[in-house]
Each structure stands twice: as structure tokens, then as C-alpha cells.
Amino acid sequence: MAEKFDSTPFLLLGFVLIFIAGVFIGLNMNKTDIKPFILYSSSNIILQEELESNQQQSLHSFSFAYNTTHLWSMRLADENYYRIIRRLPCRTVNYVDQSINETMNHCSQTTINEFSVKETVNAQRWFYEHQHPVDCSNKKFAIIHNHAWSGIGSTIHQVVWAFGEALAQDRIAVYETPGNWLYGDCKFGTLDCFFLPITNCSIPSKIDGNQTIRIPANKGHWEKARYPDVFHNRTLTWYRSQLLFYLMRYNAQTLAHVQHLIAQSFDPPSVDLHHPYIALYVRRSDKVTNREMSQAYPLSQYFNLFDNDTHQTNITTIYINSEDNNVFNEFEQVNQNKTGYYKLLRVKTRKDIVFGSLMGMPMNERGKIILEFLTDLFIEANADLHAGTLTSNWCRLVDEMRLVLGKFSPYYTPENGHFLGLRRRK
């Protein structure tokens, strides 16, 4: 799956329960007007009981919340997640690149506060309201155009930068249509083909370089990070993840497709019924031959990173994906050595696809592959623990998603660092 990358060029518990349950309760009230934000003040003990009493209903409430709010298409960290990470040893990781060096430790109050579900809800609401004003006239706009010729993760990260730049200039970001996103399998030719619309304002017809400007989405890599004032003191790790999450809220068709693919591969047929599990993406092939990764890491090396922790937390299910099909044979050997401790989850998707072959496909075929990628992303983001290599745009995308969902335990990587990927790559 070379095409995913730069191949060519605690308050917590209460809040989460109240938040999720707020939606849940909303379900029983007015079906057309759910606003999770206004439901915080209910008693969380009652809600907890209510939540636990009926899993089917809670799945339904998720689907309902998904349909009626702009916030998310993936589940947020919940008490089951926090119960797991409280058993993990404290470990400091530094997200580094160029002049950035940001420290995270899931035992530190600073990390807990910044990566809380509450912060996510507030940030996502801010983005949504900024992009969906009551009145679009007299607003300033930035038209995002000219997507990069590179892997899907890379192209999305560059759109994220352009979106951030628009917000820093207090502009509403709109996509030029038809756009030239290599993966845009619909008339828009933009991320709007798979995700909820970036804005509900229409594209301004006049570009005067003042009220409306254009921002190319094929060059952005955060050389100098600029934030809107409200986010001025946030880490780049947090802020760019939030931007990415906003742009990648699965639309109804995408979510339905993803859930259908999962149902075909998983028994029982939903990610919700496989917790707790760890997700591992093994990136190799072109990423190694292009020397962006220093080496292809053997599977056993990844397992050595998290084996103690999975045992400590009783996690026996592992979801593995890779563009390299050999990984699954390696898994059989590694797992034999561990007397079959792990149960493997995988999806039936096409392997060995590289950027060139993907580009040779007609757009609708490419679209199907993208839905397979988004299925992988959905399964990985929903996992409890995460492993991979952050020189890969795809792995970073997964990492950012899970951080936004409030899952801030250390990302396991055999590389000698947690890279933000700020450098321009070819």
C-alpha cells in the first residue's frame, strides 16, 4: 500500500459518560434536535447504569449521535480505555521534528488535560461553528486547491496544513471544485467525496486576494506553525490532530461502507465487540527502498515493544495490517513462540498495492481501495493500544485520530522517535 505515503513526491470518566450518555438520553427525547453539549449536567451514576444495561441500545445511540451531530464518526475514549491505561507503566515520549519537541506522558496531568475528550469536543465545535456561520456573507475565505501528487496520507496532511493556514488567517476554508485530489472519487474531486463537508458556505466567485485568497494544498508542512488565537498555547501534536479529525469525519456512505467491510471480515461483525485490542500497522516496501524508513522492522521487534503491556492489561486480540502480505506468515511464527497468546484480527482487503498501480486504476476502482484504507483507519483508531512507525504518513494519521479520540497512552514504535513529519518530503 505504497500509495498511503510520500512515495513519489479523569474528569475524564465523568465527562465521557455524561457526554456519551447525554447523546443516549437525547435519543429518548427529541429525535430531531440532539445537542450533546447541553446535556452535561445529568447524574453520571444513573447514566452509567443505563449505559451498561443495554449494549444494543448504546450502539444505536452511537449511530443516532453520528447521524445528528457534526462531531465524530468514531467512538471516544471511555472508562474501559482508562481502566486499561491505568495499568500501564508511566512512560515519557517526545514528539519531535525540527524545532518542535513536545512531551507526552499518560500519567501526567498536563497530557491528561490536553488530550481529554472535553478538549476535543470544544475544539471540534469551534471548527464546526467557524466553518458553518449563520451568515456567510462578509466572511473572509481561503480556497484550498491543487492537491499533492503523493500518497493518501501525505495528501491529507497537506490539506490539513492548508486548513490550519486558513484558520490562522481567520478565513473560512472551502475546497475548489472540481478538485484534483487523486483519491476524490466523486464530482467534487476533494475530501468531501468521503467525509462530511468542510463548510456549508459556497465557493466565492471573486478572488480578490483580500476577502478571498487561494491556498495550495501541495506544499504545506508546518515550517512555521500558526494558530488562531483561541488555540495559541496548544501543542502542535494536539492542534494538527484536531484539524485532521475535523476534515476526516466519515460521511454516512463512508461509514456504512466501512462497517459493512468490517462485518464481512470480523466475527462477531463489529469492532465494538472485540475490545480490548491492540492495532499494529507494519509499513515496509517503498518506504524502506526510498530510504524514508531506515529499515523494515521484523514483526517480533514490534511485539517486544508491547508484549509486557498487553499481558499486564490482558489484551490478547491484535489487529494487524500491512501492505506486505508476508507479515501474516511472520505473525504465525511469532505467535507460536508465544504459545498462541494472541488472536489475530485482520480485514479482507487487497494487498501489495503500490502508488503506481493505484494511479493506473480508474477513479472508481481507486475509490474502492480508499474505502478499504478508511476501513483500516477506522479499526485502528478504535483500538485501545497502537503500534507502528511514525515516519509513515498513514501511521501518523492513525496516531492523530486516536489522540483526538482521547487515547493518549504511548504509541509503540521501533523507530528512535515519535516524528511529527514536518519536513518537506519529495
Which residues lie near ligand NAG (CB under 6 A)?
60, 63-64, 67, 94, 96, 101, 103, 132, 134, 136, 200, 210-211, 233, 252, 256, 300, 305, 308, 314, 333-334, 337
Shortest Å distance, C-beta 94 to ligand NAG:
4
Name the residue nearer to ligand NAG (CB basis): 149 or 328: 328
Contacts of 333 (CB under 8 A, 6+ apart): none
Name the residue nearer to ligand NAG (CB basis): 337 or 357: 337
Shortest Å distance, C-beta 97 to ligand NAG:
9
Name the residue nearer to ligand NAG (CB basis): 207 or 359: 207
Shortest Å distance, C-beta 334 to ligand NAG:
5
Name the residue nearer to ligand NAG (CB basis): 57 or 290: 57
**Which triple of cell numbers denotes residue 52?**
451498561
Q: d(Cα 110, Cα 108) in Å, to the nearest integer?
A: 5
Look at residue 254 and give its three-state secondary structure: helix
Strands 92-97 and 100-105: antiparallel
Residue 261: C-alpha distances to residues 6, 183, 201, 348 (Å) = 26, 19, 33, 8
HSE (side-chain half, CA atoms, 13 Å) at 355: 20
Locate cell 512515495: which residue?
A: 7
Shortest Å distance, C-beta 358 to ligand NAG:
28
CB-based burial of residue 282 (10 Å sphere; 0-12 exposed, 13-18 middle, 19+ buried)? buried
Strands 277-282 and 141-145: unpaired
Look at residue 154 and give its three-state secondary structure: helix
Name the residue nearer to ligand NAG (CB basis): 26 or 151: 26
Nearest to 424 by CA among 145, 103, 148, 144: 148
Name the residue nearer to ligand NAG (CB basis): 41 or 109: 109
Name the residue nearer to ligand NAG (CB basis): 296 or 305: 305
Shortest Å distance, C-beta 412 to ligand NAG:
9
> What type of residue sits at position 323?
E
Shortest Å distance, C-beta 48 to ligand NAG:
19
Contacts of 111 (CB under 8 A, 6+ apart): 104, 105, 408
Inter-residue contact 187 to 240 (CB < 8 Å): no
Name the residue nearer to ligand NAG (CB basis): 151 or 421: 421
Name the residue nearer to ligand NAG (CB basis): 84 or 152: 84
User: How does DSSP classify residue 367?
Assistant: H
Shortest Å distance, C-beta 151 to ligand NAG:
26
CB-based burial of residue 29 (10 Å sphere; 0-12 exposed, 13-18 middle, 19+ buried)? exposed
Inter-residue contact 325 to 352 (CB < 8 Å): yes
> What type of residue sits at position 208?
D
Shortest Å distance, C-beta 348 to ligand NAG:
23
Shortest Å distance, C-beta 27 to ligand NAG:
8
